[in-house]
């Protein structure tokens, strides 16, 4: 039996199903980029909100811009836009919920005007995004809008035939302006520091090229709240589909599995109304910056520490890696000695508890988060997650030895592409060829990898860094080297 509105009535009582009248919902939110994370995060907050009276205007219409979203559209349509969320707690408890907050899905390559009209519809108050870092089209070195992207060139010259999120959003805002409608809020839920400010800067850079007056109207009328988002959501696997069939006898072709922890800290800046997300666990704050820094420097950097060191050793998931006491000890030492001294005290957050919880979350044996996902796009991630910490510590004359080994391991990983057992590593990175090329020169020049100054800045000239780095490189490249022995040496230098 397939999951759909009709089969909802036959669900066993242990499955949490939408108890609200989905036929009464309007799509107040149009979400672009319906990946796993949106379905485990924003759509779930809305699902909980809809269980309370008075929230009917906050249903979600999903939008897929990429050809790759065709299959998702077909599945969601066939399932009346319902899907299962399997929440796996660290203690082994599992909750199954059917999420009903999505009420429609538009596949842009098939009907572009339908997407523009939906965004411009008077029911639409928020356009939210999880289009991954790449979707924001900024140059990773300069942080400026990348006008050389062919899709962007298309969108600037063909306002009614867009390809990118910026093309669609601008076309819809133009319609709203012409029709005398209010602007909508553009809400990024991507894992980018100051995601709202970045979205604003990129959208305005795009729109100004197309229509100066429109871009001024956008600057004056559209708001872009910054937010910190958190919930570990691995890529769905065949075993997740099989699990749902076994657990409650329904076939769901694209269930989502995630951890039980969830967090959403949002700046309260919505030009066209917003749901009361704070009544279902989100937190509104005036400045999200310190929350972002804490999360990026501890969680995301912690993931990279485990991801790169664990990959070189030959582990394949985060829980497997952190269950090794040496890796757990290394991670905790990194968080305590090299990250915590740079973090501000935050109201309502006990950093010791936050770190304990992080390690418990990483160790969740029911969340098989792959190291290849964690290490993917390291070139986009590490400058903000890890290298920023190294730079701050160097400026303060503090130790950087634990983080330095992670950079050296990244070089080894990019150069060799195999783990210590000789297994090929799956490396996914937009800068993969540059990384490999620089790393491959390490045999003749210890510091070759650091010549990628767009990532490392002037680290290759800072002896407090390079002295550790050279030692690590020599140890990693020595015959029959073992990352665990090197980690032990860094933890307890002889
Ligand atoms: P995913 O691959 O499941 O989904 C990404 C979605 O974005 C897909 O629908 C894809 O088609 C679309 N997309 C990708 N590039 C695009 C582009 N250039 N333009 C328009 N659409 C595009 O990934 P996910 O796990 O849902 O993660 C998405 C983002 O969510 C991440 O990049 C991160 O910023 C954020 N996030 C993820 C997690 C997590 O644990 N997965 C946690 C916190 C934040």
CATH of the domain at 325: 1.10.1040.10
Among residues 243, 266, 285, the one where a domain terminates is: 285
177, 32: one domain: yes
| E strand or H helix that includes residue 247 | helix 238-248
**Sequence-ordered list of residues with C-beta below 8 angstroms from that of 58, at least 6 positions apart, any chain:** 25, 28, 29, 46, 49, 50, 101, 275
Q: Model ipTM?
A: 0.99
Residues of the domain holding 460? 289-491
Question: 54 in a domain, yes or no?
Answer: yes
Q: Which of 73, 115, 130 to mutate to test the pocket of ligand 1 (most atoms within 8 A of CB)?
A: 130
How confident is the model at residue 1, as a pLDDT?
Answer: 87
- Asked whether 68 lines ligand 1 (CB < 6 A), one says yes
How buried is residue 180: exposed, middle or buried, by Cβ count under 10 Å (0-12/13-18/19+)? exposed
Instruction: Render the burial of 244-272: b for 16+ CB within 10 Å, e for the rest.
Output: beebbebebbbbbbbbbbbebbbbeebbb
- Asked whether 167 lines ligand 1 (CB < 6 A), one says no
Distance (Å, whole) CA 322 – CA 327: 5
* Cα–Cα nearest to 293, from 226, 210, 359, 360: 226
Half-sphere exposure of 117 (CA within 13 A, CB side): 6
- Asked whether 96 lines ligand 1 (CB < 6 A), one says no
Check residue 190 and report its DSSP letter. Answer: S
CB neighbours of residue 109 within 10 Å? 15
Among residues 285, 320, 336, the one where a domain terminates is: 285
Distance (Å, whole) CA 254 – CA 79: 10
Q: How many domains does the chain have?
A: 2
68 Cα distance to chain centroid: 18
CATH of the domain at 148: 3.40.50.720
Among residues 285, 300, 326, the one where a domain terminates is: 285
For residue 189, report the distance from its CA to the centre of ligand 1, in Å: 9
How confident is the model at residue 345, as a pLDDT?
Answer: 86
For residue 129, report the distance from its CA to the centre of ligand 1, in Å: 9
272, 300: one domain: no
300, 242: one domain: no
Measuring CA to CA, how many Å separate 94 from each of 64, 89, 236, 244, 307?
A: 30, 6, 16, 11, 26
- Asked whether 33 lines ligand 1 (CB < 6 A), one says yes
Question: 153 in a domain, yes or no?
Answer: yes
For residue 482, report the distance from its CA to the centre of ligand 1, in Å: 34
| E strand or H helix that includes residue 438 | helix 432-439
180, 320: one domain: no
For residue 37, report the distance from its CA to the centre of ligand 1, in Å: 7
Distance (Å, whole) CA 388 – CA 158: 39
398, 464: one domain: yes
**Sequence-ordered list of residues with C-beta below 8 angstroms from that of 63, at least 6 positions apart, any chain:** 30, 31, 32, 33, 34, 105, 106, 108, 115, 118, 168
Check residue 345 and report its DSSP letter. Answer: P
pLDDT in tens, the chain (494 residues): 899 999 999 899 999 999 999 999 999 999 999 999 999 999 999 999 999 999 999 999 999 999 999 999 999 999 999 999 999 999 999 999 999 999 999 999 999 999 999 999 999 999 999 999 889 999 877 889 999 999 999 999 999 999 999 999 999 999 999 999 999 999 999 999 999 999 999 999 999 999 999 999 999 999 999 999 999 999 999 999 999 999 989 999 999 999 999 999 999 999 999 999 999 999 999 999 999 999 999 999 999 999 999 999 999 999 999 999 999 999 999 999 999 999 988 877 899 999 999 999 999 998 989 999 999 999 989 998 999 999 999 999 999 999 999 999 999 999 999 999 999 999 999 899 999 999 999 999 999 999 999 899 999 999 999 999 999 999 999 999 999 999 999 999 88
301, 246: one domain: no
For residue 337, report the distance from its CA to the centre of ligand 1, in Å: 32
Distance (Å, whole) CA 176 – CA 170: 10
- Asked whether 135 lines ligand 1 (CB < 6 A), one says yes
196, 314: one domain: no
For residue 54, report the distance from its CA to the centre of ligand 1, in Å: 30
Question: 200 in a domain, yes or no?
Answer: yes
């Amino acid at each position: 039996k397939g999951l759909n509105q009709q089969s909802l009535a036959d669900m066993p009582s242990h499955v949490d199903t939408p108890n609200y009248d989905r036929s009464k919902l309007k799509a107040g939110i149009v979400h672009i980029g319906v990946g796993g994370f949106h379905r485990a995060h924003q759509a779930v907050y809305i699902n909980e909100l809809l269980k309370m009276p008075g929230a009917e205007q906050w249903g979600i219409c999903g939008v897929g811009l990429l050809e790759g979203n065709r299959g998702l559209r077909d599945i969601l349509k066939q399932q009346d836009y319902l899907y299962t969320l399997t929440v796996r707690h660290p203690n082994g408890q599992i909750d199954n919920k059917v999420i009903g907050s999505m009420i429609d899905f538009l596949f842009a390559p098939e009907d572009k005007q339908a997407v523009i009209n939906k965004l411009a519809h008077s029911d639409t108050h928020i356009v939210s995004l999880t289009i991954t870092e790449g979707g924001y089209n900024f140059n990773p070195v300069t942080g400026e809008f990348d006008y050389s992207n062919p899709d962007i060139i298309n969108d600037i010259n063909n306002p009614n035939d867009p390809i990118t999120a910026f093309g669609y959003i601008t076309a819809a805002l133009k319609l709203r302006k012409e029709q005398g409608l209010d602007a909508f809020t553009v809400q990024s839920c991507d894992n980018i520091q100051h995601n709202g400010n970045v979205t604003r800067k990129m959208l305005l850079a795009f729109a100004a090229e197309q229509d100066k007056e429109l871009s001024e109207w956008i600057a004056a009328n559209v708001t872009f709240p910054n937010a910190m988002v958190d919930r570990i959501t691995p890529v769905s696997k065949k075993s997740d589909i099989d699990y749902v069939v076994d657990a409650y006898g329904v076939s769901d072709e694209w269930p989502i599995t995630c951890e039980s922890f969830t967090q959403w800290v949002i700046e309260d800046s919505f030009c066209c109304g917003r749901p009361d997300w704070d009544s279902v666990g989100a937190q509104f704050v005036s400045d999200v910056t310190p929350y972002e820094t804490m999360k990026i420097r501890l969680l995301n950097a912690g993931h990279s520490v485990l991801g790169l060191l664990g990959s070189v050793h030959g582990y394949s998931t985060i829980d497997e890696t952190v269950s090794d006491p040496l890796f757990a000890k290394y991670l905790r030492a990194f968080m305590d000695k090299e990250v915590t001294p740079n973090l501000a005290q935050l109201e309502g957050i006990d950093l010791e508890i936050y770190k304990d919880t992080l390690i418990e979350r990483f160790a969740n044996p029911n969340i098989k988060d792959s190291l290849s996902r964690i290490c993917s796009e390291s070139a986009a991630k590490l400058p903000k997650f890890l290298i920023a910490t190294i730079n701050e510590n160097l400026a303060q004359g503090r130790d950087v030895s634990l983080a330095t080994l992670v950079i050296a391991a990244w070089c080894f990983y990019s150069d060799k592409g195999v783990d210590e057992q000789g297994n090929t590593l799956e490396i996914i990175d937009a800068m993969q060829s540059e990384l490999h090329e620089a790393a491959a020169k390490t045999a003749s020049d210890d510091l070759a990898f650091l010549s990628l100054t767009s990532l490392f800045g002037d680290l290759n000239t800072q002896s407090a860094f390079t002295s550790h780095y050279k030692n690590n490189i020599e140890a990693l490249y020595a015959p029959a080297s073992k990352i665990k022995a090197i980690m032990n040496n860094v933890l307890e230098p002889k």
